[in-house]
Structure 1
Amino acid sequence: MEDLLKALVSATATQQESNRIIQAQIGAVMEAQKADHELLKATVQSLATQAPPSQETRIRASCYLQKMLPEDDVEAYLRAFERTATREAWPADKWVGIISPFLIGEAQNAYYDLEEVQATDYKLLKAEILARFGVTKAVRARRFSNWTYQEKTPPRTQMFDLMHLARKWLQPEHQSPTQIVETLVLDKFLRRLPRSLREWMGQGNPGTYDDMVAQVERYLAAKNFEDSPRRSPKVVVGSIPTHRKAQPQKVFGSTTRSNGSAILPAPGGPVRYSDHSDTFRRGNEPQRNSIQCFECGELGHIRARCPNTSKPMQCGLGEDPRNFCGLICLTGLVEGTQTF
């Protein structure tokens, strides 16, 4: 019996020793794991504090976007792109570079016409594209004002369509309440202007109160200037223009005024002029030594003004009133009421 008890005690002691050794080993393993965990944590923290390398995430836009088609609505296409870019958290400064390969036609031309500095501004690109397609603020205002109820269309659909037109025109997500009120007032003011003024104002596209008022004032000032009576230059019938001081001209059968203008005889009467008139000396007359008199053969004058004859040069056309040809010899004189 004693031997049996001794054996049990010895086995129990051996088991306890084994358990102690196992617990010691487990404790050592746990300490090692704890040390490894602390080392890993310290390593992660040190990596987090370091500057990450500049590596850009590759954006696979072709998985979400399709090439723009000619029949697509440009506003709807741009709106779909904006929602996709927001959902996928694409950087806003990369939007222009992402959408540009998918544009066609005028939208693509708008992108290529931008300056290199402006090529990263999506808002500027969007405004340029919409302007080329004729979708301006004035067009949106006209669409909203021209909206009419359609009997065959569900009322709920029409209500949402009208709200959509209003939001696209007023843009409450970008404009403050003050700016929205200003937009409404400007549109109302513009639509109540006279038609001619309204068409002229539409070309200027004013954006503020001051711009609108300034353009209206310029239009009215120009109109008043155009409508004001203009003074026409006073023309005296029969006046003889000359570069020199005017000399009274002798016209047979008429008298002269103090300013040199001739008082002509009645239409149809004989008109004869002095043979020593200075009115032939104009700006482009030939040199005196380059002309020769047909009567006496001397240089420096013509037959009509020849000093070597006492008779004026005869003209058969002016002798008989029935054959009067109405030739005008003096610049500025008139026959009847016809001026030259």
Structure 2
Amino acid sequence: MDGSRSAAASGSSPTSSPFAEVISSLAVLHQEQHRALLQMREDQDMRFQAVLQAQREDRETFRSWMHWEVQTGTRADLVLSKMGPQDDPEAFLDLFKRVAESSGWPGDQWALRLLPLLSGETQVAAQQLPPENLLVYAELKKAIIQRVGRSPEQHRQRFRSLGLAETGRPYLLAQQLRDSCRK
């Protein structure tokens, strides 16, 4: 019996038991799983390092943009939406001017930046301008207002017709009166 134990323990017995075979195959499977897990961990570590590197590069790019904006005194371009049919052309142009001024855009670029934002009747007004006036913001604005804007008489009529019952909010009425008065 002593000899059979030592032969089974050494694994050299030609008549190994089924239990020993199962244990042996489980040990092999365990080793394979362990290697696979180690490989997965290495892959995960490499991906994590790649993500960290990409984040570092993004931070550096962002810092360089911020540094450039501070040095030049300008901000990055804003994304403006196109004028829709429900938009008031005068309000749209006033807002565009404010954005252009706050962004520090040179005045000679305003018309060029405004053109892609026009739609409908405002585009028609721009198309009817002579080529030498198309890229002059003041001329472009004047053509748009003449085509789709309100006349002074329409502004007067709107000012006179505004009432609290129309808006239901006194502050909004005051803003509308102020806006109509200025036009």
- Unaligned 5+ residue runs, structure 1? 1-56, 169-340
Whether the 8 Å CA contact 1:119–1:125 is kept in 2: the answer is yes
In the other structure, the counterpart of 2:93 is 78
Letter in 2 for 1:93: D
Paired letter, 1:90: W
Offset of 1:80 from its aligned partner?
1.6
SS at match of 2:164: coil
> Is 1:141 matched with 2:141?
no
Amino acid at match of 1:114: L
Q: Indicate the residue corresponding to 1:131 in structure 2.
A: 146
- Matched residue type, 2:86: E
CA contact (8 A) 2:162 2:173 kept: no
Query: After TM superposition, where is structure 1 displaced by more than 6 Å over at least 4 residues in a row?
Result: 59-62
Instruction: Return the offset for 1:152.
Output: 6.5
Same amino acid, percent of matched pairs: 35
| TM-superposed deviation, 1:134 | 4.3
Q: Which runs of 5+ in 2 are unaligned?
A: 1-71
Aligned-pair CA distance for 1:62? 6.6
Letter in 2 for 1:82: K
Contact 2:112–2:135 (8 Å) recurs in 1 = yes
Structure 2 residue 66 is the aligned partner of structure 1 residue 89? no
Aligned residues: 111
Q: For each residue in 1:20-67, what CA deviation from the matched residue of structure 2 results, as whole angstroms up to 9, or x when unmatched?
A: xxxxxxxxxxxxxxxxxxxxxxxxxxxxxxxxxxxxx9x999733112
Paired with 1:109 and 1:61, the residues of 2 have a C-alpha distance of 30
The 1:149–1:115 alpha-carbon spacing in structure 2 relative to 1, beyond 3 Å, is same
Q: CA RMSD in A?
A: 2.6
CA shift, 1:145, in A, is 2.5
1:79/1:119 Cα in 2 relative to 1: closer, same or farther (>3 Å)? same
Partner residue in 2 for 1:150 = 165
Counterpart CA distance in 2 for 1:86 and 1:102 is: 17
Change (3 A) 1:151 1:72: closer
Alpha-carbon distance, 1:130 to partner? 1.9
- Residue 149 of structure 1: CA displacement? 3.3
The TM-score, its normalising length taken from structure 1, stands at 0.30
SS of the residue aligned with 1:138? Answer: helix
Aligned residue type for 2:104? A
In structure 1, which of residues 112, 115, 119 is the aligned counterpart of residue 130 of structure 2? 115
Alignment deviations for residues 157-184 of structure 1 (CA, whole Å, 9 cap, x no partner): 212211111012xxxxxxxxxxxxxxxx
Pick closer, same or farther for the CA change 1:133–1:61 going to 2, 3 Å.
farther
In structure 2, what is the Cα distance between the partners aligned to 1:91 and 1:129? 21
With over 3 angstroms needed to count, the CA separation of the structure-2 counterparts of 1:61 and 1:70, relative to structure 1, is farther
Q: TM-score, normalised by structure 2?
A: 0.53
Listed one character per residue, the Cα deviations across residues 189-222 of structure 1 (whole Å, up to 9, x for unaligned) are: xxxxxxxxxxxxxxxxxxxxxxxxxxxxxxxxxx
How has the CA–CA distance of structure 1 residues 91 and 152 changed in structure 2, closer, same or farther, with 3 Å as cutoff? closer
Which residue matches 2:175? 160
- State the SS of the aligned residue for 1:83: helix
* TM-superposed deviation, 1:123: 2.1
Question: Which residue type is aligned with residue 99 of structure 1?
Answer: L
CA gap of 1:150–1:121, structure 2 versus 1, over 3 A, is same
Matched-pair contact (CA < 8 Å) for 1:61–1:98: no
Q: 1:159 to 1:85 in 2, by over 3 A?
A: same
Change (3 A) 1:152 1:86: closer
Q: Which residue of 2 aligns with 1:101?
A: 116
Alignment of 1:140-289 (within 5 A): 140-150=155-165, 153-168=168-183
Structure 1 residues 104 and 151, CA, compared in 2 at 3 Å: closer, same or farther?
Answer: closer
For the 8 Å contact 2:76–2:103, the answer to whether it is kept is no
- Bigger radius of gyration among the two: 1
CA contact (8 A) 2:134 2:140 kept: yes
Alignment-derived partner of residue 34 in structure 2: none
**Within 2, Cα distance between the matches of 1:115 and 1:71?**
27
- Residue of structure 1 in register with 2:42 after alignment: none
